[in-house]
Amino acid sequence: QVQLVESGGGLVQAGGSLRLSCAASGSIFSINTMGWYRQAPGKQRELVASITNGGSTNYRDSVKGRFTISRDNAKNTVYLQMNSLKPEDTAVYLCNAAVVVLAPLREAQYWGQGTQVTVSS
C-alpha cells in the first residue's frame, strides 16, 4: 500500500515560517497531482495548494504570495513553504497525492496522516 508521511509541522509565532514535507512510498508507478489541504476545528477541509506533475500550481487566495508548493519527483516528495504565517493558518495540514499504482495499473488517491500547524499571535 502507498503511504504518505508528512513532517515539518509545529508551533510558530505569527509572521514566522514553516516548511512542510510529504514523502510517498510504496508501489508507485508515478504521481500525478499532489496537494496540501488543511482542516481547522469546526471548519471544512480546504485545498491550500496543489501541483501537477508538469509543475502547474494552484493556490487558494488567502495564501497567495505567502505559501509556495514544490515537488521533487525523484524523491516522491512534495513541499509546502509557508511564510508570513497568521493565526488563521492554524490547522491540521494533510498531504494528498494522485498516485498511479501497479497490479492493476490505475490512479488512486492517498492521504497522509496530517501534521499540526499552530500559529500563535
Please name the residue that has the C-alpha cell 513541499. 79
pLDDT tens-digit map of 37-81: 999 999 999 999 999 999 999 999 999 999 999 999 999 999 999
- 110 has pLDDT over 90: yes
> Would you state the pLDDT for residue 1?
85
Mean pLDDT, range 23-36, rounded to an integer = 96
What lies within 8 Å, CB to CB, of 49 at 6+ separation is: 35, 36, 57, 58, 59, 60, 63, 67, 69, 80
- 25 has pLDDT over 90: yes
Q: Of the candidates 36, 83, 51, 38, which has an alpha carbon nearest to the alpha carbon of residue 64?
A: 83
pLDDT tens-digit map of 77-100: 999 999 999 999 999 999 999 999
